[in-house]
A = this chain, B = another copy of it.
Amino acid sequence: MKRPTIADIALRAGVSKGAVSYALNGQPGVSEATRERIIAIAREIGFNPNSAARALSGAKAAAVGLTLSRPARILSVEPFFMGLISGFEAELASRSYALTLQLVDSPEQEVEVYRRWWGERRVDGVFVSDLRDGDVRIPVLQELQLPAVVIGGPGETGSITQVWSDDAGAVAEAVRYLSALGHRRIARVSGMAELLHTRARGQAFDEVCRTLGFESAVTVAADYTGEEGGRATRQLLMSASRPTAVIYDNDVMAVAGLSVAQEMGLRVPADLSIVAWDDSPLCRLVHPPLTALSRDIADYGAQAARQLLDAIAEKPVDDIEAAPARLTPRGSTAPPPG
């Protein structure tokens, strides 16, 4: 039989469509015997409820959306998002929710996608990542009343809940560790300056370095790509007061930085210490393996997914603070030379 409907089941079981619906949804209104018979028939003919029909009669679309507005060349090598997605899936799949993905070019386009998705009732909620200062997406989401969860923060998201981890604390941990090793000139290669978490990390970095009375604490802005990370590193290493340690905002840039250092004849970690943010397998793949700020990104994604599903179900939701990134020392950090 070709794509059976509840009408087919009803016919076979000799009952009405309504009875089938009650039976399959575990609702009262049918006897246990009938329910079992109907479920058996459904299984036998391989019935799956038509999601469109279900969504149409008031129910949910059983899908959530994720838009990514970073260029493909960044996404392809950036392990963060796939980790996040695998975390989403762990939660979504168990509740038969689908994940709809769309790559876009800008936050403005993201807004357009949200409007369309919601208007079409294609999704019940969305994940929002890469929060910016005065993000254009937030007011639109509120206007649409589209359930959403912001990944990363904390930021000004009004009524929209966030899942965030304590970046400031993690920065402090890394800087204190380098300080304990004896470093006094530390630099930081950041991601896109317009992203809120970049700013939060930057402020924390400046503050801790000031507190510790460092000689210098420069931040060079990059964009998460290896090219930019390499360029920023080259710039730092050529400066008069060369830093003895560099903290990178993601592991791709850290790997690129390692490569630049080696290319310039510096030994890592003897001449230069390197700390990566986010600890994908990439960090263990290079030589020396990179000291990194590790966090369980998949778990982060899973928490966000639970949060979003709760928001969709109109359960009360609060911001979640996920476990902070923890420093995982490896071979790329050591006391400074001299």
From B98, B120, B298, contact of A49 by CB (8 A): B120
Determine whether A83 belongs to the interface, using a CB cutoff of 8 Å to chain B. yes
Pair B75/A82 contact, Cβ less than 8 Å: yes
Pair A98/B122 contact, Cβ less than 8 Å: yes
In the bound complex, residues from chain B placing their C-beta under 8 Å from that of A101 are 85, 89, 99-101
In the bound complex, residues from chain B placing their C-beta under 8 Å from that of A47 are 119
Q: Size band of the A side of the interface?
A: 35 or more
> Which A17-67 residues have C-beta < 8 A from chain B?
46-56, 61, 63
Determine whether A7 belongs to the interface, using a CB cutoff of 8 Å to chain B. no
Determine whether A333 belongs to the interface, using a CB cutoff of 8 Å to chain B. no
Determine whether A115 belongs to the interface, using a CB cutoff of 8 Å to chain B. yes
Determine whether A106 belongs to the interface, using a CB cutoff of 8 Å to chain B. no
Pair A89/B103 contact, Cβ less than 8 Å: yes
Which stretch, A157-165, A209-217, A223-231, touches the partner chain B? A223-231
Copies in the complex: 2
Cα of A285 to Cα of B48 in the assembled complex, Å: 47
Pair B72/A61 contact, Cβ less than 8 Å: no
Pair A51/B285 contact, Cβ less than 8 Å: no
Nearest Cβ on chain B to A147's Cβ, whole angstroms: 14
In the bound complex, residues from chain B placing their C-beta under 8 Å from that of A285 are 77, 226, 230, 252, 255-256, 259
From B48, B61, B119, B225, contact of A46 by CB (8 A): B119
Q: Which residue of B lies closest to A287 (CB)?
A: B259
Nearest Cβ on chain B to A16's Cβ, whole angstroms: 20
Q: Which residue of B lies closest to A253 (CB)?
A: B285
From B51, B85, B93, B286, contact of A120 by CB (8 A): B51
- On whether A281 and B119 interact (CB within 8 A), knowing A52-B52, A56-B53, A263-B287, the answer reads no
Q: A270-283 vs B: 1/0 string, CB under 8 Å?
A: 00000000001110
Pair A3/B102 contact, Cβ less than 8 Å: no
Nearest Cβ on chain B to A264's Cβ, whole angstroms: 10
Nearest Cβ on chain B to A296's Cβ, whole angstroms: 11
Nearest Cβ on chain B to A138's Cβ, whole angstroms: 18
Cα of A121 to Cα of B52 in the assembled complex, Å: 7
Pair B52/A286 contact, Cβ less than 8 Å: no
In the bound complex, residues from chain B placing their C-beta under 8 Å from that of A287 are 259-260, 262-263
Pair A121/B75 contact, Cβ less than 8 Å: no
Q: Which residue of B lies closest to A61 (CB)?
A: B52
In the bound complex, residues from chain B placing their C-beta under 8 Å from that of A81 are 82
Smallest CB-CB A-B distances: 3 pairs: A48-B119, A72-B86, A226-B285
Q: Which residues of A contact B (CB under 8 A)?
A: 3, 46-56, 61, 63, 72-73, 75-83, 85-86, 89, 93, 96, 98-104, 115-116, 118-122, 225-227, 230, 252, 255-256, 259-260, 262-263, 280-282, 284-287, 297-298
Given contacts A51-B121, A76-B280, A77-B79, 13 further A-B contacts (CB under 8 A): A3-B121, A50-B56, A50-B121, A51-B52, A52-B121, A53-B56, A75-B82, A76-B83, A76-B86, A76-B281, A78-B82, A98-B100, A259-B285
- Can you give 8 A-B contacts (C-beta < 8 A)? A3-B121, A75-B82, A76-B83, A89-B102, A98-B122, A99-B101, A227-B281, A259-B287
